[in-house]
Chains A and B, each alone.
Chain A
Amino acid sequence: MRLSTITAVALAFTATVASAQTKYPTDVTFEDGAIAASLSGTPGDPANGQVLMNKGAGNCIACHEVTALAELPFHGGIGPMLDGAADRWTEADLRGIVADAKVMFPESMMPSFYKISGFVRPGDAYTGKAIDPDAITPLLSAQEIEDVVSFLMTLRDE
């Protein structure tokens, strides 16, 4: 009886530790919030990255202003302006920030675009209904993140 209680406690503890481990669709190694290795192994396409800045699950300009995309309407003012992003950050930094900004900036409001675990009441897209936690897919795929990062690397002031 006593043993089974201890086992139960131990199992519960293991489960807690496991769920505290943030999951990503592929193996990701962060170093100071940056990710050195490409997530997809295929170079990013800056043209598609530019599309994602405006559309779909990217929609980066909802919160960030980008002068290079000034022809698109309604840039938000919540996040930092992205002009000159490639002067301030390395590609690895940008990959880490886009994939999961909270690793580098724990209090950041920015969604974690590559994370697939650890959410409170995760929903099935924008239906308001619950999703099976095991069925969660990232907001952006590995290649889409590479595409966005490759576009951000074109944002230079100098």
Chain B
Amino acid sequence: MSDNRSDSEGGARAKRQKMDAGDPKNNPYLAHMYENNNGSDNTALAKFKRHQTTAALAKKAEDGDINPFSGRPFSSKYFSILKTRRDLPVHTQRDEFLQLYQQSQILVFVGETGSGKTTQIPQFVLYDDLPQTQGKMVACTQPRRVAAMSVAQRVAAEMDVKLGEEVGYSIRFEDMTGPKTIMKYMTDGMLLREAMNDPNLSRYSTIMLDEAHERTMATDILMGLLKEVVVRRPDLKIIIMSATLDAQKFQRYFMDAPLLAVPGRTHPVEIFYTPEPEQDYVEAAVRTVLQIHATEGEGDILLFLTGEEEIEDAARKIALEGDEMVREADAGPLKVYPLYGSLPPHMQQRIFDPAPPPRRPGGRPGRKVIVSTNIAETSLTIDGIVYVVDPGFSKQKIYNPRIRVESLLVSPISKASAQQRAGRAGRTRPGKCFRLYTEGAFKKELIESTYPEILRSNLSSTVLELKKLGIDDLVHFDLMDPPAPETLMRALEELNYLACLDDDGNLTQLGRLASEFPLDPALAVMLISSPEFYCSNEILSITALLSVPQVFVRPAAQRKRADEMKNLFAHPDGDHLTMLNVYHAYRSSDAQANPKQWCHDHFLSQRALQSADNVRSQLLRIMERQDLEMMSTDFEDKKYYENIRRALCAGFFMQVAKKDTGGKSQYLTIKDNQNVLLHPSTVLAHEAEWVLYNEFVLTTKNYIRTVTAVKPEWLLDIAPTYYDISSFPKGDIRSALTRAADRLARKEKMRAEKHR
């Protein structure tokens, strides 16, 4: 989709300006610019009756000379795109779609990948719903930011309008819409945030939830919400778009809404299983790839693995053995590209490079191999893939409310996921999928479909959102897959400790304020209370840094050098302060002179720092709107860093670990009593008795990452209800807290005596 940027746009505009010569007011095409264009009387849509149009009418309007939405003449590029659009599978069913759309308030639409649903259905709707006549908009949600952006761009080109005018997009930290916008692509999270301030979603006449089968948290909540909104707003139309055929589940959920299915444009894929389970799936995957290269015909290979390390390792092995095959067996050249989320964009782009040519004319054809995480399963479409190798695992987020740990674990995929992976082989021509497990394991070991995100996540920010949306009865809120009671209880308790909810579960002033921030409640609370600690500027920077990917880069080949560079910024009291030092250095004039070079020299990710900068300015705007004071302690003051560490406690007092009396650098998390180790990446110089952590990482060992040393006195002072000593069982932690409380009392007494 992204390969179709309208590069002729500039040229087309130049031509248009020539035609505008003369008095523009006499130009009938520009009438909309001079009077209130509420009926679009001069355009092809004038005779259209809302919700009574047909495909033939729409076709006529599309074939006209003037763009009915912008009022400008169509460019030649438009007509060439129009021709390809008419070839898409959805086009043949336009009439059928319109009939169902007009008849019912909710419609479930199933279209396989490649049917053109994401780009075409919204345009079908525009020609029938005519939102501009109602002063409303059509919204189409996407689970991913990148998709919202690229689809909006594509549709703007297809409709021959400028992105950000009639067609726009809105994602977190970026709004690309204008007063003329009638078609808005947005992330599902953005629509949810809009619903918080506009519970009836009154700006929209039609809402489409695209990729609903992915069942993101925001889509699930939106579906529950829309089910209530449609009752209050009979004029609002809803379209649920999904790619898989478990659409009956959506139908049942939406009171037996009608269903329309459009076949995709896919080729058959032959599926192979192993006769016996594999002892080592990574090794088996590497062998399978080489085997395909040696024995199968032309076509690229897509291998699914779980994580960065595994992918890099496998890619290296395949490349080495591939070279050997070229030397010894005259095999075709093999090019291997890794692909994972944290890979820089220019490296990700390389996967679209064509396969290498044969080494000599007439030789064996070259082949490219893409070793990817499951981002190639749905989010990215790579043409030319004919072979898929599927070991049956992916990394999945899972939340355990009992120990309050959200972790990424290697888990078996679902049947639906396996089918999706296989489907990737049939994009351009018939393909093959090699599954590295037995057919029996496929049938009995794999669950039907992946658990929706809402069952696998910490719900504290969701509960805060729901409370802000006015949904108090969380027990009977009609979700497609309601979460486990314990998960919800944990979320309520966490919000209660953070003082976002009072003891009866009502939203407090702080909670209302926190819900304004597109952040985790703990981060939002930390940010809101930072002025009390005289360091809101610094906490704002730290919050921004915690909301973006890792800023430190550590290439495998230069680990030592990277660590040396990191030590330049190290603060003995912990990683949060180290990150702050990095940010301050990055903002200094020294670094800003040539930020790219500076980041490269210091092994920092410029992309992460840039987006931290962006996030910071967005959050700053919210803080200013909420009248939160921006301030800093004087840098020379010896309390400068201490204040920041105290402010960190205000948000993260529930993520604290105490050094275990037993082993070296062993820690025990407070209340949850999990044995953890400090992550090797920490810069903490001394063995702090109490540390606060940002993240609990479950890998081969339990690690806590991004830690900062704190004092128990601060915790007792800042979060007295959570650190209520009587609630702790007898033991090391309790006695340490008691000692801290005694110290605090003594100090208090001394101070009182001094004042007397």
Whether chain B is bound by chain A comes out as no
Q: B: which residues have CB within 8 A of A?
A: none
